[in-house]
Amino acid sequence: MLQFRNDYSVGAHPDVLAALAATNLEGNAGYGADGYCARCADLIRALCAAPQADVQFCVGGTQTNFTAIAAFLRPWEGVICADTGHINGHEAGAVEATGHKLFPVRADLDGKVTPAMIEPVVARCVDPHLVKPALVYLSDATETGGVYTLAELEALSVCCKAHGLLLFLDGARLGAALTAADNDVTLPDLARLCDAFYLGGTKNGALMGEALVICTPALQPDFFRVKKQRGAVLAKGWLLGVQFLALLERGLYWDLARHANAQAARLQAGLTAKGYGLLVPTTTNQIFPIVPRALLEELDRVCTYEVWEDLGERVAIRFVTSFATTQAEVDALLAALPDQR
Amino acid sequence: MLQFRNDYSVGAHPDVLAALAATNLEGNAGYGADGYCARCADLIRALCAAPQADVQFCVGGTQTNFTAIAAFLRPWEGVICADTGHINGHEAGAVEATGHKLFPVRADLDGKVTPAMIEPVVARCVDPHLVKPALVYLSDATETGGVYTLAELEALSVCCKAHGLLLFLDGARLGAALTAADNDVTLPDLARLCDAFYLGGTKNGALMGEALVICTPALQPDFFRVKKQRGAVLAKGWLLGVQFLALLERGLYWDLARHANAQAARLQAGLTAKGYGLLVPTTTNQIFPIVPRALLEELDRVCTYEVWEDLGERVAIRFVTSFATTQAEVDALLAALPDQR
Amino acid sequence: MLQFRNDYSVGAHPDVLAALAATNLEGNAGYGADGYCARCADLIRALCAAPQADVQFCVGGTQTNFTAIAAFLRPWEGVICADTGHINGHEAGAVEATGHKLFPVRADLDGKVTPAMIEPVVARCVDPHLVKPALVYLSDATETGGVYTLAELEALSVCCKAHGLLLFLDGARLGAALTAADNDVTLPDLARLCDAFYLGGTKNGALMGEALVICTPALQPDFFRVKKQRGAVLAKGWLLGVQFLALLERGLYWDLARHANAQAARLQAGLTAKGYGLLVPTTTNQIFPIVPRALLEELDRVCTYEVWEDLGERVAIRFVTSFATTQAEVDALLAALPDQR
Amino acid sequence: MLQFRNDYSVGAHPDVLAALAATNLEGNAGYGADGYCARCADLIRALCAAPQADVQFCVGGTQTNFTAIAAFLRPWEGVICADTGHINGHEAGAVEATGHKLFPVRADLDGKVTPAMIEPVVARCVDPHLVKPALVYLSDATETGGVYTLAELEALSVCCKAHGLLLFLDGARLGAALTAADNDVTLPDLARLCDAFYLGGTKNGALMGEALVICTPALQPDFFRVKKQRGAVLAKGWLLGVQFLALLERGLYWDLARHANAQAARLQAGLTAKGYGLLVPTTTNQIFPIVPRALLEELDRVCTYEVWEDLGERVAIRFVTSFATTQAEVDALLAALPDQR
């Protein structure tokens, strides 16, 4: 069975696992108060050219999202996000469970939020009988594989500053985004433009772990307490520091993402050549081919994938590649799929 | 530096790590929908003689506590616990953050809750202007290393049933408890007497992970949704199933706990022989010697430990042993400590 | 200045105020444990032909909505409502602040929810990574003055029962709805079809107060505790019982609503005759004429009203009548508005 | 039946009711945006010599407490209060339901909090695994009728400022406190020393209503939104402004409190003369005589009261007087009670 369902169906990259094994029994302070986390935080600050930033390691993406949002907002404040955003559609109401309303805005197929989507929400919510929009949630790459350009992020930052909104970027697939062919954004750009963002480990070579970068000093105090309160403090916290060091110290993180993107690009190109349409073309590790409904049965025998959207006679599906996807697997999948021309 | 600060300062037992390595790249369904979690849940049900139980793997103890309590209670219901209980004193208000009041009761030095402590809270809260006590939270072993006897748990279960209270047992150190010299409780006893309890992995050989056993069918529906909502669903969920299988399939879990207890007993006996008093004697992997305040400086050069309670001229400290504590380390610590007779 | 901004800009109907004055100093038990509340609850049960119902008096509509929803739902459950619904757009995130997600569905101009809007949400949320829809929130009259027919409510009830959804009806303007010309619904119908609903006092003759009828016995236990917890227990609770008795014992409640509707109908007919369009025609006490933008300045000198929706060159505004609106006021307003033909 | 159970068992003082009647049908803006609320806020600012203060009217005490605390604190912050404090024992977990932990400290019989009680909580909670104490909750008068002296409040304010704690004073019975024989505190003192406090209307002559004074400017922004979110915005908000104006414009508020205190003092003196002991002597409108258990049955025939504390053979009970308590009622109660000498 070819694995194209998601980018979290195998464990860690062997180098990451080796780093865990090498440090397994050495003895470290708990709760992230160890030398690996400290060193890794320094490294991330350096990579981001953000000496003032606080780096906080969490275990998973949903947890990072709701912990950060709960920490940053006041009770009467809400979050603007794409209607397709992960916090709106895939996290079982985690943000609302912390008491905050979401304002989902209708995003385009690429899943991006724009100032033009934000402005009407802000304008409407001047009325104090409504929740006050206070944070814009993006993901890069987006839920549908889109990549923000530097110009788009600059515009969002200007819009947010003008309206007193925090800018928060979910980077569960940040590796894929920053290594995409059409990307022109760097970590220092993110640290400059966002109030907080994270580098996802789970979907790019780690067993688990997300490295949250809190750029804005006013958002940093007491963050450990809120992490603890939300179950986001791993007792053996060094496990996260060790993994992110293994990923970031010699650029493995970017290599793995580049690899995943390349396999996705090969698959997308191959499918297009075979006459498959795309729900939306992407440059990251998720692709969204459109297939005849009748093909699904055959697909189920060949590979794992996700049904993305029902289009009537046809169905948009999602294939995801990861650091572990081989060219052979991509080619096998392409070979198994019938020509649509 | 000798490590006696806690039981989560090294990684996983080598066999557990080996199991992770062996399965690392094989490809598994995410979010716990894999074969390892399924097989491990079956194993735990069998060990508990509780075929009706639902087994849910979470990442950490605080997370398991507040997720279960949030799932089990209604908004106006609260939790009776020892004032020394972990949820009251060490989790940054995680339970309250889900909206539920704690009723801490004054426990004895052994950290145990008794029906006599529960009854007055129940009696007082008949008044509907008060929160309704609805769940009793225990830990076994307790925060101060105590072990519940079967008779004590039976009495608590009777008391809880009489008052419509759920009985929930935090088993972060359940291995240490169930292998203690004075223990007469079994997993089937727990499954019969508790509405839910968990087997802690983090403090007994796993990288991370707690296996929650929900015994009462009425508490089982939709538990996955609340886990997801609270950030307790690990994307690579099989990591937890694989680890618990490695720990439980051939009894390693109990061997490791027995080892930790034995080292703690050796240390406690050695300290007593040298004239150290004990805040409370224990049979599990935490011990609480009383030392002269002046000794702390010397201790800081020899080992890690925790200051537990200030007693004026003297101080109660905590030493914790783990699967990784060697007899040589215990003997080295004993040798380093001056005689108090 | 003619008052057409809303139906809560004068105090109580004189008969209601007289009842408060008559009982002012007599001495009553606090927190709703008085004879008036008890007698009024009996009366409401009788009017609803629902002997099993629990009647709970709250102070305001937002409070009643979030208290009931917090009481009825589990943490992972959410609420389906019209996007124009009061809980979505006018209550500052009160429901989300209790931890529950809203699923706003695109309603027609009449503000009504239909089974066809509910079904796709239910279908999508079979996925346990999503919040579970568990309650449908309606208002009758709707935010835009619409009135549910008995057939519509029957269909909604069937749909809700089929999908395990509770049916909750916000009756802040229930008087206006049940006395509307096109209404065919009775209180016993509501008690039979809804799990809970309320009769609004604030907008129909009381100083304040909403009478919540909890029809489904499983939702009744401990409701007082959650009311207390959410600040919805008035210390001098009999004030609510006294007012609702004054309104309901001799039918004043319906007379007042009928009067408000009649004035609105007169105003709507007069405006139509003068050539004004309507955003949506209504039969209750809110009407939504469309006026040229240039007219607003003149309107501001004549009367109070609310701008409802910007339509470009034209603007939809809202006029609301109440028990206190006189025919002379309606005629004065009509006289003041220029002909549009 | 003589009414001594509480100070909220009759409606409003006749002058207050008259003010409501006089303004009943005049037409006012909703939600507190009316002239009465504005004028009353100005008056309260003047009485407090606090031109910078924000005055917000709420409906009830529990609601005011949890709304203010939810507005002022961040999620990881908690509240220090007396174990006998109203928020700890009488509000059904309302503060915890907003996500905040209480740190109840063991108060003396007078119900007062002191810096010596606060310091250990602050010291212990330096540990970031614990909730951060961030607000001290007092009531004046206390739950057991105690009155803070100016020196005590000054010391508390110094302590709070030193530890970064907000000082919040529940003034549900502030009238009784500030008119007590042994009081030396003024409204300007409170405005200078507290971050926020309120003047209770419900227990001193109003139908309902509490006037919250937010002294610290940083706590003021967006307070209306959080009030709306918590159900604390009364639709007919002017009802609160009108009542407080009637109470405060010519000093009626203080006269009523003085009257209630005088009746309580007469009753307390009479009981002492008859040989009854006191749980704690008070100078406000609550008194706490100790009676033989056998007397309760007789008491039940004579008057309403509350059982306060079981003392074995004897029972401490609570009598409360109000603006409506007459000297004749006090004398009748005294006459009905047997001599204990």
Residue C307: both structure tokens together: 């701008």
What parts of chain D have a pLDDT lower than 70? none
Query: DSSP character for D251?
Result: S
Tell me the C-alpha distance between B126 and B135, whole Å: 15
Q: Do A76 and C90 touch (CB under 8 A)?
A: no
Tell me the C-alpha distance between A304 and D160, whole Å: 60
Provide CATH 3.40.640.10 ranges for chain B: 14-248
Centroid of chain to Cα A25: 32
Tell me the C-alpha distance between A251 and A235, whole Å: 27
- Name the strand (E) or helix (H) holding D17: helix D14-23
CATH, range D2-7+253-336: 3.90.1150.10
Whats the size of chain A, residue-wise? 341
Q: What is residue B292's three-state secondary structure?
A: strand
Tell me the C-alpha distance between B304 and B322, whole Å: 13
Tell me the C-alpha distance between C278 and B301, whole Å: 83
Tell me the C-alpha distance between D157 and D194, whole Å: 7
Q: Do B76 and C131 touch (CB under 8 A)?
A: no
User: B137 has which bridge partners?
Assistant: B81, B168
User: Which pTM does this prediction carry?
Assistant: 0.97
Spell out the residues 6+ positions from residue C157 whose beta carbon is closer than 8 angstroms to its own: C167, C193, C194
Provide CATH 3.90.1150.10 ranges for chain A: 2-7+253-336
The minimum CA-CA distance between C222 and chain D, rounded to whole Å, is 11
Residue B169: both structure tokens together: 């047992």
CATH, range B14-248: 3.40.640.10
Tell me the C-alpha distance between A86 and A82, whole Å: 9
Whats the size of chain D, residue-wise? 341
Provide CATH 3.90.1150.10 ranges for chain B: 252-336
pLDDT of residue D275: 97
pLDDT of residue B13 exceeding 90: yes
Tell me the C-alpha distance between D287 and D276, whole Å: 12
- Provide, for chain C, the percentages of residues in helix, strand and coil under a 3-state DSSP scheme, each rounded to the nearest 5: 40, 20, 40
Residue D104: both structure tokens together: 């109840």
Is residue B89 within 8 Å of B111, Cβ to Cβ?
no
Q: Do D90 and B128 touch (CB under 8 A)?
A: no
Q: Do C90 and A131 touch (CB under 8 A)?
A: no
Residue keyed to tokens 């996807």? A325
Tell me the C-alpha distance between A197 and A191, whole Å: 8
Q: Could you tell me where the DSSP H helices lie in D133-250?
A: 150-163, 174-178, 187-193, 223-229, 238-248
Tell me the C-alpha distance between A229 and A88, whole Å: 22
| CB atoms closer than 10 angstroms to residue A112 | 21
- Name the strand (E) or helix (H) holding D81: strand D77-82
Would you say the C-alpha torsion A51, A52, A56, A61 has a positive or negative sign? negative
Of residues C76, C131, C225, nearest to B76 (C-beta): C225
| CB atoms closer than 10 angstroms to residue C101 | 25
pLDDT of residue D341: 86
Whether chain C has a CB inside 8 Å of the CB on B222: the answer is yes
Contacts of D93 in chain B (CB under 8 A): 76, 78, 99-101, 130-131
Task: Please identify among residues 262-281 of chain B the ones whose CB lies closer than 8 Å to any CB of chain A.
Answer: none
pLDDT per position as a tens digit, C297-332: 999 999 999 999 999 999 999 999 999 999 999 999
Is residue D270 within 8 Å of D284, Cβ to Cβ?
no
Residue D23: both structure tokens together: 């303004």
Spell out the residues 6+ positions from residue C211 whose beta carbon is closer than 8 angstroms to its own: C40, C44, C55, C56, C57, C198, C199, C201, C240, C244
Of residues C74, C132, C226, nearest to B76 (C-beta): C226
Taking Cα atoms as reference points, which of A296, A327, A160, A63 lies closest to residue B58? Answer: A63
Rg (C-alpha) for chain C, rounded Å, is 20
Compute, in degrees rounded to 10, the torsion defined by CA atoms B79, B82, B84, B85: -50
Tell me the C-alpha distance between C316 and C307, whole Å: 6
CA angle B326–B329–B331, rounded 5-degree value: 110
pLDDT of residue C341: 86
Spell out the residues 6+ positions from residue B162 whose beta carbon is closer than 8 angstroms to its own: none
Task: Using CB atoms, list chains with 3+ pairs below 8 Å to chain C.
Answer: A, B, D
What are the φ/ψ torsions at residue D138 (nearest 5 degrees)? Answer: -120, 160
Tell me the C-alpha distance between A74 and A101, whole Å: 11
- Provide, for chain D, the percentages of residues in helix, strand and coil under a 3-state DSSP scheme, each rounded to the nearest 5: 40, 20, 40
User: B79 has which bridge partners?
Assistant: B102, B135
pLDDT per position as a tens digit, D72-108: 999 999 999 999 999 998 999 999 999 999 999 999 9
Whether chain D has a CB inside 8 Å of the CB on A74: the answer is yes
Whether chain A has a CB inside 8 Å of the CB on C96: the answer is yes
Q: Do C76 and B131 touch (CB under 8 A)?
A: no
Of residues B23, B60, B93, nearest to A234 (C-beta): B60
Taking Cα atoms as reference points, which of B16, D62, C197 lies closest to residue A20? Answer: B16
Tell me the C-alpha distance between C261 and C177, whole Å: 9
Whether chain D has a CB inside 8 Å of the CB on B76: the answer is yes
The minimum CA-CA distance between B217 and chain A, rounded to whole Å, is 22
pLDDT per position as a tens digit, D151-173: 999 999 999 999 999 999 999 99
> How many H helices and E strands in chain A?
14, 14
pLDDT per position as a tens digit, B188-241: 999 999 999 999 999 999 999 999 999 999 999 999 999 999 999 999 999 999
Superfamily holding B252-336: Aspartate Aminotransferase, domain 1 (3.90.1150.10)
pLDDT band at B341 (very low <50, low <70, confident <90, very high): confident
| CB atoms closer than 10 angstroms to residue A27 | 17
Q: Count of B–C CB contacts within 8 Å?
A: 51
What are the φ/ψ torsions at residue A93 (nearest 5 degrees)? Answer: 70, 30
pLDDT per position as a tens digit, C99-151: 999 999 999 999 999 999 999 999 999 999 999 999 999 999 999 999 999 99
Q: How many CA atoms lie less than 13 Å away from D99 in the CB half-sphere? A: 26
Task: Using CB atoms, list chains with 3+ pairs below 8 Å to chain A.
Answer: B, C, D
Q: Could you tell me where the DSSP H helices lie in chain C?
A: 14-22, 35-47, 61-72, 86-89, 94-97, 115-124, 150-163, 174-178, 187-193, 223-229, 238-248, 252-273, 295-302, 327-336
> What is the b/e burial string over B216-230, where b = at least 16 CB atoms within 10 angstroms of the residue's CB?
eeebbebbbbbbbbb
Compute, in degrees rounded to 10, the torsion defined by CA atoms D321, D325, D329, D333: -10
Of residues C75, C132, C225, nearest to B71 (C-beta): C75
Q: B77-82 and B102-105: which strand pairing?
A: parallel
What are the φ/ψ torsions at residue A94 (nearest 5 degrees)? Answer: -60, -40
User: How much of chain B, in percent, has pLDDT values that exceed 70?
Assistant: 100
Q: For chain C, give the mean pLDDT.
A: 97
pLDDT per position as a tens digit, B21-77: 999 999 999 999 999 999 999 999 999 999 999 999 999 999 999 999 999 999 999
pLDDT per position as a tens digit, C187-230: 999 999 999 999 999 999 999 999 999 999 999 999 999 999 99
Helices C238-248 and C35-47 pack at an angle, to 10 degrees, of 40
The 3 state secondary structure assigned to A62-107 is HHHHHHHHHHHCCCCEEEEEECCCHHHHCCCCHHHHCCCCEEEECC
Taking Cα atoms as reference points, which of C283, C234, C280 lies closest to residue C257? Answer: C283
Q: For chain A, give the mean pLDDT.
A: 97
Q: Could you tell me where the DSSP H helices lie in B186-340?
A: 187-193, 223-229, 238-248, 252-273, 295-302, 327-336
- Provide, for chain A, the percentages of residues in helix, strand and coil under a 3-state DSSP scheme, each rounded to the nearest 5: 40, 20, 40
Residue B201: both structure tokens together: 């992995």
pLDDT of residue C80: 98
Whether chain B has a CB inside 8 Å of the CB on C31: the answer is yes
User: B287 has which bridge partners?
Assistant: B319
| CB atoms closer than 10 angstroms to residue A117 | 21
Contacts of A102 in chain C (CB under 8 A): 96, 101
Tell me the C-alpha distance between A294 and B26, whole Å: 29
What are the φ/ψ torsions at residue A230 (nearest 5 degrees)? Answer: -100, 10
Of residues B74, B76, B226, nearest to C76 (C-beta): B226
Tell me the C-alpha distance between C86 and C91, whole Å: 7
